[in-house]
Amino acid sequence: MNVSRITGVGMYVPENVVTNDDLSKIMDTNDVWIQERTGIKERRHIQKGDGNSTSVMGAKASRIAIERAGLTPYDIDMIVFATLSPDMYFPGGGVEIQEMLEMRTIPALDVRNQCSGFIYALSIADQYIKTGMCKHVLVIGSENHSGGLDMTTRGRGVSVIFGDGAGAVVVSESEDNNRGILSTHLHSEGKYKKELMLEGPSTGYWVPEIMADNPQENIPYYPYMNGQFVFKHAVVRFSEVIQEGLEANGFKTSDIDMLIPHQANLRISQFIQHKLKLSDAQVFNNIQKYGNTTAASIPIALTEAWEKGKINKGDLVVLAAFGSGFTWASAVIRW
């Protein structure tokens, strides 16, 4: 079986910085309240007229990743695009990337696993490489949250958390059996789907119902999150899926050179770090600057960590995520 390895990484975030103080001007919140609960200081939001969208940001991150892999868009054999915020209800963003990058008529697959989406997408790329179906797969996580948030006091519990941005990696066939994606581990538990969801617009709650209804709270076309419930499950599932990945490959937590968790909440990451007895040098967080970018958070953090020289050849890198679905996942990589 072939070995798959990440050969290029890239990220893009909008230039528009939205600080906690900026949010305090449009809703009843403040910097201290937000930082105490999430660890977030600022995030990036698309501005009308800046030319960005979920797919446009994904394409920008992809160009960087492809160039760093020493390839051209023509070399890519498949696109796997993870997002909960596509430009259109259908078709998905994968085909937009194919057009934007002027690629061959390669397959373009869209993944809808929210916060776990990038690792789910990475696992698909890994299997296509290992089975010999593809040599180079482009994996993208991109989100435009700001276009669908309730930016009022009513929605502050969710809206202060999320930011916009994109990250991408190229997964390639490798002849080096000592480096690459060692394993991925995916899980779901749908009975908790309503604890973190966006009910509509959907075929079950479409335009006529939206126009007829006038709810004052828990508006179905804005995201809903039971924050404490999600936090309690996240810290358990994060730990479990990280340990699952390590045990599958004969490693211990002390063997981790870099853990990159989904940037959901700094308090969750710190809890996991303490539970696994990892040092600050073994965990990378950048939610402070970008907020929660859902499917984009891991590839953005992975790219930034690599750019800062915190990930080097031979390092044991672990990715982990938990989110809506509930879904959770991990990937163990020898860089």
**Domain 3-177 fold:** Peroxisomal Thiolase; Chain A, domain 1 (3.40.47)
How much is the pLDDT for 164?
98
CA distances for 156 relative to 2, 9, 45, 47, 76, angstroms: 47, 33, 15, 19, 41
CA distances for 228 relative to 195, 232, 326, angstroms: 10, 6, 14
Q: Is the pLDDT of residue 156 over 80?
A: yes
In the chain, count H helices and then E strands: 11, 13
Q: Which residue has the tokens 């194919």?
A: 98
Domains 3-177 and 181-334 equal at CATH topology level: yes
Q: How far apart are CA 319 and CA 241, in angstroms?
A: 10
When pLDDT is cut at 50, 70 and 90, the band that residue 210 belongs to is confident
Q: How far apart are CA 253 and CA 245, in angstroms?
A: 10
Beta bridge partners of 82: 111, 141
Percent above pLDDT 70 for the chain: 99
**What angle separates helix 227-248 from helix 266-276, to the nearest 10 degrees?**
40
- What is residue 225's three-state secondary structure? strand
- Across residues 282-294, what is the average pLDDT? 98
- Across residues 163-178, what is the average pLDDT? 94
How much is the pLDDT for 213?
77
Are 83 and 56 in contact, with CB atoms under 8 Å apart? no
pLDDT in tens, 218-258: 777 888 899 899 999 999 999 999 999 999 999 999 999 99
Q: Is the pLDDT of residue 214 over 80?
A: no
Per-residue 3-state assignment (H helix, E strand, C coil) for 49-107: CCCCCHHHHHHHHHHHHHHHCCCCHHHCCEEEEECCCCCCCCCCHHHHHHHHCCCCCCC
Going by the DSSP 8-state scheme, the letter that residue 252 receives in this structure is -
Average model confidence (pLDDT) across the chain: 95
Residue ranges per structural domain of the chain = 3-177, 181-334
Q: List, by residue number, the catalytic residues.
A: 115, 262, 292
How much is the pLDDT for 200?
81
- Across residues 190-217, what is the average pLDDT? 83
Contacts of 69 (CB under 8 A, 6+ apart): 7, 8, 136, 170, 172
When pLDDT is cut at 50, 70 and 90, the band that residue 208 belongs to is confident
Q: How far apart are CA 170 and CA 82, in angstroms?
A: 14
67-76, 171-180, 290-299: which has the minimum mean pLDDT?
Answer: 171-180
Q: How far apart are CA 141 and CA 62, in angstroms?
A: 10
- Across residues 95-118, what is the average pLDDT? 98
**Closest Cα to residue 220, out of 232, 233, 207?**
207
**Domain 181-334 fold:** Peroxisomal Thiolase; Chain A, domain 1 (3.40.47)
When pLDDT is cut at 50, 70 and 90, the band that residue 271 belongs to is very high
Are 267 and 233 in contact, with CB atoms under 8 Å apart? no
Q: Is the pLDDT of residue 211 over 80?
A: no
- Across residues 49-75, what is the average pLDDT? 98
pTM beyond 0.75: the answer is yes
